[in-house]
Amino acid sequence: MTLFRCRLSFPGLRVAFAALLVALGGMLALSAPVAAQSGGLGATMQFAPATIASGKPTKLRIRLRNEAVESTIGGISFDVVFPDGMRFRGRPETSQCGGTLTQGANGYQFRLGFLGVDETCLVDATVTVDSDASVTVTLVVGPISSRNGGSVKSVQASLTVNGGIPPKITSPPLPAQGMLGIDYSHQVTVTGTAPVVVTADGLPPGLAYDDSTRRISGKPTLAGIYTVGLRAINGVPPADAQISTVEIRNPPLQIVTPVPLSSTPLIIAAPVSLVVEATGGLPPYRFEITEGALPPGLALSESGQITGMPTTSGTFPFTVRARDVLFNLDSRAYELVVTRIATTLKLGLAPNPAVAGQVVVLNATVEPSSGRRLPGAGRLGGGRRARAAPIRSRAAPIPSRRTRRAPR
């Protein structure tokens, strides 16, 4: 569009008119806003969407454009430092706009971007802001520099965050297996604006959830497969849920009485009372000898009791097998040693000395040489009348002859 056309025939007038145009151009330039860029590189930034609920994602988008005439721009670089509360949601693409995006703990670096002639390109990262209160967050990025296209001093954008952090169950699912009668425990952890209320549905019988400690615990009482649902709410949508599958099993049948069954050898004729015990499976249990044999005089009951009095010395290996009502089996090998004890027979007379015709008592005591008391050990014998034999005493010796008692 032509604003005006002027034909000047004198050179002096042409020079003056040119000077006037230069002056007017300078005045127009001074009245325009100061540009935030130099050279052909241009940039803008925005959040999409510009309003989110706390913890929800938004796209942080920096738009790069080449405004140079018939020239490419290389080496485009800038740093993004997040304000407090802002964080990534997921991992951003590392290769964007011909350059490399490197994620950091609190923002990212963009290096060596490239724009072709008249090209526009987007550098995107998904972010969010966690805030209990409603806030407006402003992010400033700059400078955005290049190798041959000048730089952009800074760009900025604002994000409105509606306060309140939705609840999130951060603990892993419940342990997939538990055993009947054995302690089961699981700690539930959550995040979000307090107070967060957690409920648990579908727990196996015997387990309970304590909201004060956020712990599931107890001893399962019924085998089966259970679907357990946890739900967390705090008034900030959305609520969070977690589903777990828990299988409660019978623990394996196992004989738990350790070896050796008796820590000391058994003694012939000494009473024995031992027990073999089992756990797991489904009681009641039945016990039996499957290999070897108990020492003669001992017997094993179906309930696992070994009782009796051994009659023969020796070493007796044997194997006990336990069986539950589901016909689960477990076996364990044992060994019992039976021995005799060396004894000493001690005799004694009372009274000693005695006189002829006096009743005396002969005592016989069986004692173990090792000092261990034998079952049934004690005194043997009874009263006997003294025969005609010399017996020393404080009284005068009695002749060795039969005497008659005077008739009564």
Q: Are 307 and 301 in contact (CB under 8 A)?
A: yes
Q: In what order do the strands lie in the sheet with 107-115?
A: 37-38, 151-152, 144-145, 73-81, 107-115, 99-104, 95-96
The C-alpha atoms of residue 193 and residue 174 are separated, in whole angstroms, by: 24
Q: What does the chain come to in residues?
A: 408
Write down all domains in the chain, each with its CATH number in brackets: 37-162 (2.60.40.680), 170-248 (2.60.40.10), 254-339 (2.60.40.10), 343-385 (no CATH)
Amino acid present at 271: P
Q: Which residues are within 8 A (CB) of 334 and not within 5 positions of it... i.e. 6 or more apart?
A: 259, 260, 261, 276, 317, 318, 319, 320
Prediction pTM value: 0.43
Tens-digit pLDDT string for the chain (408 aa): 333 344 444 444 443 444 444 344 433 333 333 335 667 999 999 999 999 988 889 999 999 999 987 899 999 999 999 999 999 999 999 999 999 999 998 999 999 999 999 999 999 999 999 888 889 999 999 999 999 989 999 999 999 998 888 899 999 999 999 998 889 999 999 998 889 999 999 999 999 999 999 999 999 999 999 999 999 999 888 899 999 999 999 889 999 999 999 999 999 999 999 999 999 888 899 999 999 999 999 999 999 999 999 999 999 999 999 999 888 999 999 999 999 887 777 888 888 888 888 888 888 877 766 555 555 555 444 544 544 444 444 444 444 444 444 444
Beta bridge partners of 172: none
- CA 355 centroid distance within chain: 88
